[in-house]
Chain A
Amino acid sequence: MPQLAIDNLSATYGKLAVLKSVSLAVEKGEIIGLIGPSGSGKSTLLRVLVGLLKPTAGTIAIDGRPVDFGKAAEVRAVRDRLAIVFQQFNLFQNMTVLENVTIAPVKIKKRAKGEVREEAKELLRKVGLGEKLNAYPDELSGGQQQRVAIARALALKPEILLLDEVTASLDPELVSEVLDTIRLLAAEGMTMLIVSHEMGFVRELSSRVVFMADGRIVETGTPGEVFETPQETRTREFVSKILRH
């Protein structure tokens, strides 16, 4: 049974149909590279998965249990298991690095503060920020902020991690430090959906690549299949255009 099963999922912004009957099954430990032109609905798919946007049709099942996004308790349960990191880090500006990482486990999960702090420090060391515990977000580089955001997401011990263009707004020299952090998680077997324009990275890390265009999944395959021998014209066009750059 797939850990995450997306079945005929549709979503709209107002009248605009943004996801059109998307289906995707993700096994535990898989790393899905989600690629596609800007505006194709990649972010929207992730936003629906974490309950920021209600689907208009279709189902999402986690470990075989369909989620009812109309019920607050079920949305909360989903958010316990899925974590998302955004392009724009979105750290809490009024909190230190350590507070950013500990606040959800302490205030939301009501876990013991001391234990959470130790775990958070460990996580921050892991992403290379053990020295920045008491810094504020605006004192950090973009790459450092993004790694804090990843640590913050991991502090809730999610089973599936969604990464939405987490390197897209970073200066080129800061990209690799964030990618290294993600490699580390991949090595630990975390299930991930990664939206990225770093094609080399997607290719290296993904167990499967999903190409989306215009709100639909156009093609799915191994990195080799999608990048070397794409079956669909749109995939071919996208891949050749993006690899040329």
Chain B
Amino acid sequence: MNYTLQYGQVLPYLGYFAGGALLSLQIAFLSFCGGLVIGTGFASVTAFGPRPLRVLVKVYVTAFTNTPQLVQIYFLYFALPDAGILLSSYQAVLIGMTLNAGAYLTEIQRAGFLSRRQTEMEAAEVLGFSRWQQIRYVILPHIAKVLFPPLANQYILMTLGTSMAAVFGVEELTGRAFNVNAETFRSVEIFSLVAVFYVVITFAATLALALIGRLAFRARMRIL
């Protein structure tokens, strides 16, 4: 090994990487929120909806959880233009990740929606709670508490998954690492630095989510 690490050469790019990290966070956040909307709706359908709709949701979930996300985004990016729908690489990534997240979040939430506590509901009923009050005071808090940790976990996974966007030329953290690498060829320095950035943004998110979970839902979550 006669390779000497020269972090000095990549330090000027710190701000550039930070900007990329922000874009990564933005992609993760937007696609997670979109996925959460889809997941909540579809999980309600699978838990409580009529059979034909349940089957449709099942097809969607199976398709998206059994194919690579990269392939899904490729499909959106290269196949949709044939159908006259032209997406920018950023749009394709965002839509692809949202649809992918929607499928996983449907699965995660379906189980939570079904984990009602019959006995607690009976206790509420005999205390005089109406059906709506049972949902409001017993079922929803319970579901929120059960679902918070796996949802937070999914969010962290998605933050890391955003690096896929680089493949399509989106200049998020990994994309910017590609760019700087092409200029400086300092691969080891660049990618170790970028790894640190990912650690920082995921760890910060983990801490924040654990704190929220702890305070709002008394959900116990492992941080490390």
Counting contact residues on chain B (CB < 8 A from A), the size range is 10 to 19
Cβ of A184 < 8 Å from any Cβ of B? no
Within 8 Å by CB of B122, from A52, A107, A109, A153, lies: A52
In the complex, what residues of A have CB within 8 A of residue B119's CB? 86, 88, 90
**Residues of chain B from 200 to 221 with CB closer than 8 A to chain A in the complex:** 217-218
User: Judging by beta carbons under 8 Å apart, are B142 and A108 in contact?
Assistant: no
Given A94-B145, A136-B218, A107:B126 Cβ within 8 A: no
Judge whether A83 and B126 touch: CB under 8 Å. yes
Q: Which residues of B contact A149 (CB under 8 A)?
A: 123
B127 close to A156 (CB less than 8 A): yes
Q: Which residue of A lies closest to B120 (CB)?
A: A90
A92–B126 touching, CB < 8 Å: no
Shortest C-beta distance, B24 to chain A (Å), equals 34
Contact: B120 with A103, CB < 8 Å? no
Contacts A103-B137, A108-B133 hold; do A93 and B123 have CB atoms under 8 A apart?
no
Q: Does A208 contact B (CB under 8 A)?
A: no
Q: How far is the CA of A50 from the CA of B124 in the complex (A)?
A: 12
- Checking A79, A94, A109 against B142 with a beta-carbon cut-off of 8 angstroms, the contacting residue is A94
B8 at interface (Cβ–Cβ under 8 A)?
Answer: no
Asked if B138 is at the interface of the complex by the 8 Å CB criterion, the answer is yes
Measured between alpha carbons, how far is A104 from B128 in the docked complex, in Å? Answer: 7
Distance in Å: Cβ of B44 to nearest Cβ of chain A: 21
Chain A proximity mask over B118-149: 1 for CB below 8 Å, otherwise 0? 01101111111100010001100110010000
Within 8 A of B (CB), among A13-55: 50-52
Q: Are B138 and A104 in contact (CB under 8 A)?
A: no
- Given the known A-B contacts A90-B119, A92-B138, are A52 and B218 also in contact in the complex, defined by CB atoms under 8 Å? no
Contacts of B128 in A (CB 8 A): 76, 79-80, 104, 108-109, 156
A 132-158 contacts with B by CB, 8 A: 136, 149, 152-153, 156
Chain A neighbourhood of B123, CB < 8 A: 86, 90-92, 149
Q: Which residues of A from 64 to 115 have beta carbons under 8 Å from B? A: 76, 79-80, 83-84, 86, 88, 90-94, 103-104, 107-109
> Closest CB of chain A to B149's CB: distance in Å?
15
Residues of A within 8 A of B129 (CB): 104, 107-108
- Are A92 and B125 interface neighbours, CB within 8 A? no
B125's contact among A52, A83, A91, A103, by CB below 8 Å, is which? A52
**Cross-chain contact of B126 among A50, A93, A109 (Cβ < 8 A):** A50
The answer to whether A107 touches B120, judged by C-beta atoms less than 8 angstroms apart, is: no
Lowest 9 A-B CB distances belong to which pairs?
Answer: A90-B123, A94-B141, A104-B127, A108-B128, A90-B119, A50-B126, A79-B128, A84-B126, A90-B120
Using a CB–CB cutoff of 8 Å, the interface residues on chain B facing chain A are: 117, 119-120, 122-129, 133, 137-138, 141-142, 145, 217-218
- Would you give 26 A-B contacts (Cβ < 8 Å), ordered by A? A50-B126, A51-B126, A52-B125, A52-B126, A79-B126, A79-B127, A86-B119, A86-B123, A88-B119, A90-B120, A90-B123, A92-B123, A92-B124, A93-B120, A94-B138, A94-B141, A94-B217, A103-B127, A103-B137, A104-B127, A104-B129, A108-B127, A108-B133, A109-B128, A136-B218, A156-B128
